Structure 1
Amino acid sequence: MTDITIRPIEQKDNAKVAEMIRYVLIEQGVPKVGTAYEDIALDQLFETYQKDRAEYFVFLEGDEILGSAGIAPLENGESTICELQKMYFHPKVRGRGLGQQMMQVCLNFAKKHHFNECYIETLVSMEPAQKLYKKSGFDYIEERLGDTGHYSCKVFMKKKLV
């Protein structure tokens, strides 16, 4: 088995991460509007996460980027709430418990940076992702929080971190 690494994104990773995320979104049949697919930040994730209390992590198997996820303050939300953002895994690494590892890295970062709650939005069709979020302690909530711009996402979840 090749080495598995989770580390903060580096500038040199931008193109590979954007390519992997778009591949996963297309593979999942995600709308190209109202989702991460059209985010301007997708092509410059390293730069996007160069702000306080934010980090974007990449998952590598060997030297190939096969997953990623970020934590950042929720846009136009309470300062104590972070958002788990752009968590995607290539099909060839799914079902191996690696999403749980990435989730733990992200939530540990959130706790270390004094967030009390973590929010996430996803699509109704992304049932395996919702299963991971539930397993990680997220609960469904009725209303959208903050201003993510992802109007096609209709599933909202939140987890207490303290």
Structure 2
Amino acid sequence: MISVVSAHAEKELRQAKILFEEYAATLDFALDFQNFEEEMASLPGGYTPPEGCLLLALHRDQVAGCVALRKIDQDTCEMKRLFVRPSFRHLGIGKSLAQRVIQEAKKKGYTRMRLDTVPSMKEARALYKKLGFEAIPSYCHNPVPGAVFLERKL
């Protein structure tokens, strides 16, 4: 069974930080261009309610994945750090997290959601397409060759 919970308490924030670090370790590039170290040091930072949120996915009470939401402007938010631990993949957890963060964005009054992704994230890109995200011009700095910028109306 999959459940998605908000990460507010110190224990949950520690779990989110561990997941973010695991996510970063899977990449073949450094996240320095996103001020990743500063983000880690200030969690929940920009993901703090009411403008943002940080969600954890649990599978049989084990922490399986995460996703975050932050404000870009009054109408636009950004999905960040969608990650599912390898041992929990292909169980629909990524989809559950993405759908929940979209719901949270709607509740917060955002009218569109953006994200950026890279070519190596083939499964995530397929999920984003199924969820209605479409390609847009660059809206943020991402120096990774082939980076794609996506948006979905909410």
TM-score over 0.5 (shorter chain):
yes
Match of 2:107 among 106, 112, 119: 112
Name the counterpart of 1:142: 137
In the alignment, which residue of structure 1 is the partner of 2:33?
A: 34
- From 87, 97, 101, the equivalent of 1:102 is 97
How far apart are residue 41 of structure 1 and its match?
2.1
Match of 1:54 among 52, 55, 58: 52
Q: What per-residue deviation string (whole Å, max 9, x for no partner) do you get for residues 13-61 of structure 1?
A: 223222222223323424242247x242224433543342211101112
Could you tell me which runs of 5 or more consecutive residues in structure 1 were left unpaired when the two chains were aligned.
Answer: none
TM-score by length of structure 2 reads: 0.85
Query: RMSD of the alignment, in Å?
Result: 2.2
Which secondary structure state, in structure 1, belongs to the residue aligned with residue 32 of structure 2? coil
Deviation per residue, 1:87-126 (Å, 9 max, x gap): 1110111112111111111111111111110000122221
2 CA distance for matches of 1:14 and 1:40?
Answer: 15
Contact 1:8 1:57 in 2 (8 A): yes
CA distance in 1, matches of 2:51, 2:19: 25
Determine if the alignment matches structure 1 residue 155 to structure 2 residue 148: yes
Equivalent residues of 2:48, 2:54 under 8 A apart:
no
C-alpha distance in structure 1 between counterparts of 2:26 and 2:103, whole Å: 29
Letter in 2 for 1:160: K
Per the alignment, in what secondary structure is the counterpart of residue 45 of structure 1? coil
Rounded Cα–Cα distance in structure 2 between residues aligned with 1:39 and 1:25 = 11
Q: Tell me which of the two structures has the higher relative contact order, counting C-alpha pairs closer than 8 angstroms and 6 or more residues apart.
A: 1
Which whole-Å CA distance do the structure 1 matches of 2:6 and 2:80 have between them? 14
Identity value in percent: 21
- Residues 66 and 89, structure 1, Cα contact 8 Å, conserved in 2: yes
Q: How many Å apart are 1:136 and its aligned residue?
A: 0.7
Please tell me the residue identity of whatever aligns with 1:60.
L
Q: How many residues align?
A: 152
Q: What SS does the corresponding residue of 1:22 show, helix, strand or coil?
A: helix
5+ residue gaps, structure 2, are: none
